[in-house]
Amino acid sequence: MQKPHLELSQLGIEFPGANGPFIALQQVDLQIARGEFISLIGHSGCGKSTVLNLVAGLLQATTGGVLLNNKEVNAPGPERAVVFQNHSLLPWLTVYQNVELAVKQVFRGQKRKAEMRDWIEHNLALVQMQHASDRRPAEISGGMKQRVGIARALAMQPEVLLMDEPFGALDALTRAHLQDSLMEIQARLNNTVIMITHDVDEAVLLSDRIVMMTNGPAATIGEVLPITLPRPRNRIELADCATYNHYRHQVLSFLYEKQRKIEPLPSQAALKPAPGVKRA
């Protein structure tokens, strides 16, 4: 049997708290094939970003671990690139220079200057940003900034692309364009992708599997939904597709019926009227 490209095994993490350890995640088990697109979805506080940070090597697991190509992940590495909701571009550098910074860190001593230039231009072309290579972040739109962030991550030639709500701050039209671009890029490069999202339509459109997390604390994987819609996927055609809408319903059912988020009631102290104020 072929080993998974990426494996999360009995993954758990706890953080110290005033009243004892806070268990954020427990017993997260997931095997991911090379080139697979995985979406993590769940209510706020369910540990999605914690899972991503553990795979990125930014956090250390308390129990279990992460294996990439059967090797333990215990620190950040260029084979795992992260794209955040905030593009995190350096404002004093041009679009080209922001990507160049990542390329120099990864390929210094491996690529000649001309090869680096060609590689940077290639990755800017992948996200259709070569025309803006001399502009600074303040001179481009939010969607363009996010394209540059994706180009910078891809330029590291990662095996695994980790995306933390990369389109969450964008308007609907820009978001749709970037989703389509991401599908095209991923089909071409065959990167393994793990993406956090709160958008059910986005998860169904982009994913091979949707991993649905239970509510925290002590969150874990509740259900895993395989998405067998053929690729390439066209959002217009899928709008009236019964299978697409069935997948949508399954995710919504998990989120709003099986894992309905219950807000805590106000404390008794908070319910007491202020001195001199009578109850209605």
**pLDDT band, very low/low/confident/very high, at 143 (cuts 50, 70, 90):** very high
The four Cα atoms 60, 251, 259, 31 give a dihedral, to 10 degrees, of: -30
**pLDDT band, very low/low/confident/very high, at 19 (cuts 50, 70, 90):** confident
Sorted by where each begins, the domain ranges of the chain are 6-79+158-271
Residue 268 has pLDDT above 90, yes or no: no
Q: Residue 277's pLDDT is what?
A: 47
Residue 266 has pLDDT above 60, yes or no: no
* Residue pointed to by tokens 């972040």: 137
Q: Are strands 6-15 and 63-68 parallel, antiparallel or unpaired?
A: antiparallel
**pLDDT band, very low/low/confident/very high, at 161 (cuts 50, 70, 90):** very high
Q: Which of 49, 41, 37, 43 has the alpha carbon at shortest distance from 13?
A: 49
Looking at residue 219, the DSSP 8-state letter turns out to be B
> For 123, left (φ over 0), alpha (ψ -120 to 50), or beta?
alpha
Q: What is the pLDDT of residues 205-256, one digit of tens each?
A: 999 999 999 998 999 999 999 999 999 999 999 999 999 999 999 999 999 9
Answer for the pair 182, 130: CB distance below 8 angstroms, yes or no.
Answer: no
Task: Give CA separation, 82 vs 151, 165, 213, 234, in Å.
Answer: 11, 11, 20, 26
Residue 93 has pLDDT above 50, yes or no: yes
Rounded average pLDDT over 2-6: 86
Residue 261 has pLDDT above 70, yes or no: no
- Angstrom distance (rounded) from CA 153 to CA 83: 7
Residue 6 has pLDDT above 80, yes or no: yes
**pLDDT band, very low/low/confident/very high, at 87 (cuts 50, 70, 90):** confident
- Angstrom distance (rounded) from CA 203 to CA 248: 9
Question: And the tokens for 246?
Answer: 């069935």
Q: What is the pLDDT of residues 172-204, one digit of tens each?
A: 999 999 999 999 999 999 999 999 999 999 999
pTM above 0.85, yes or no: yes
For domain 6-79+158-271, give the fold: Rossmann fold (3.40.50)
Q: Which of 245, 242, 204 has the alpha carbon at shortest distance from 37?
A: 204
- Angstrom distance (rounded) from CA 160 to CA 78: 9
Adjacent-strand bridge partners of 86: none
Q: Which of 178, 223, 235, 170 has the alpha carbon at shortest distance from 39?
A: 223
